[in-house]
Amino acid sequence: MLRTVILGTGSYSPSRVLTNSDLEKMVATSGPWIVSRTGIEERRVAAPEESTATMAAAAARNALALAGVDPLEIDMIILGTVTGDAMTPASAAYVQAAIGAANAFAFDVSAACAGSLYALSIADQFLQSGKIRRALVIGAETLSRVTDWTNRETCVLFGDGAGAMVLGRGEEEGRGLLATSLRTDGSLTGILGIPRPSAGAEGVLEGGKIKMKGREVYKFATRVLPEIVGEALAQAGVSPSEIDHVIAHQANARIIESVLANLGVPVEKCWMNIARFGNTSSASLPITLDEANRAGRLKKGDVIAMMAIGAGMTWGGAVMRW
Ligand code: ACO
């Protein structure tokens, strides 16, 4: 069976760096507290002229260049984001125009930090059905614009950026995406989200910023992520000991370490960049994949396990042979 393969990866990070010491001047926090609880040392913040769509387009161009694929060959663009440039149209439409992918239909997926994994799974279905030949999957966020910079419980966690992958049908048996597994628990919408802004008491605009019950998110994530990766591994017929690399949504270093320990996978197998970027939601998984790819870590035939979790709660796992 010929499976979906990743032909190229790309990413984009804004140049402005916000360090933990910068945050110490903004809220009552400390660098050591942030590092010990999350693993984050700094994060990137988009410039005023940058947006989710401009960063997504930059990441997409990098991925297309690496894949050697012309934008006109792309049949579908799916962008995972919760911080689109407009309520409508989809930011994927801005990306389509910006990169000149005139033959692609394009839409956004709202699945929070699991957005790019959901998008990967959707694209896989279109590719496997033969309906399309090439897809562009992107995750991009400008979380800095929905962060409450006065709330120390959330503002230390998030960052901006974009990651992308170009997908196609493989030409070799056994290589490519072996399994994806997705889940949602809508009874947990209250533990993490960004309520729409609305006029509150005295007409002051309220909402529109990230709200999170951190402890509950932490407990839930550390419970369900090993299960979903286990499920994807079972579907793929691969055992945890065969995993060569873990590409994980970078939510929190402690969450990732706990999941790896649970799966019995050594931490060295997981590409970590949370120290430099913080949690970039749907962007984080494709940025991480792009870094590992460009560093030459991923060798032909390697088994890669992916995992992500986000507001919804939404979560997923995937297994591929590079
Ligand atoms: N600096 C200093 N102190 C802080 C900060 C901060 N930035 N934030 C909270 N505190 C304080 C709290 O007020 C509390 O003080 P108290 O004991 O006087 O009440 C104390 O630190 C402990 O707070 P907790 O919330 O219990 O700290 P915890 O160890 O749970 O760590 C954290 C908080 C890092 C948010 C953790 O719960 C976590 O990682 N949760 C997962 C959330 C997550 O990863 N979200 C990412 C987005 S969701 C996603 O991507 C899936």
Q: What is the pLDDT of residue 263?
A: 96
Q: What is the pLDDT of residue 132?
A: 97
The model's pTM is 0.96
Q: What is the pLDDT of residue 180?
A: 98
Q: What is the pLDDT of residue 62?
A: 98
Pocket test for ligand 1, best of 24, 33, 37, 222 (most atoms within 8 A of CB): 37
pLDDT, one tens digit per residue, over 98-155 is: 999 999 999 999 999 999 999 999 999 999 999 999 999 999 999 999 999 999 999 9
Domain that holds residue 146: 4-169
**Does 67 share its domain with 137?**
yes
Retrieve residue 123's tokens. Answer: 């694209």
273 given a catalytic annotation? no
**Does 160 share its domain with 181?**
no
Q: Is 107 close to ligand 1, i.e. is its CB under 6 Å away?
A: no
Q: Which positions of the chain have pLDDT values less than 50?
A: none
**Does 164 share its domain with 213?**
no
Q: What is the pLDDT of residue 23?
A: 98
Q: Is 258 close to ligand 1, i.e. is its CB under 6 Å away?
A: no
Q: What is the pLDDT of residue 131?
A: 97
Closest CA to 160 of 179, 178, 145: 145
**Does 184 share its domain with 224?**
yes
Interface predicted TM-score (ipTM) of this complex, two decimals: 0.91
Q: What is the pLDDT of residue 166?
A: 98
Q: What is the pLDDT of residue 235?
A: 97
Q: Is 24 close to ligand 1, i.e. is its CB under 6 Å away?
A: no
- Asked if 81 contacts 40 with a C-beta cutoff of 8 angstroms, the reply is no
245 given a catalytic annotation? no
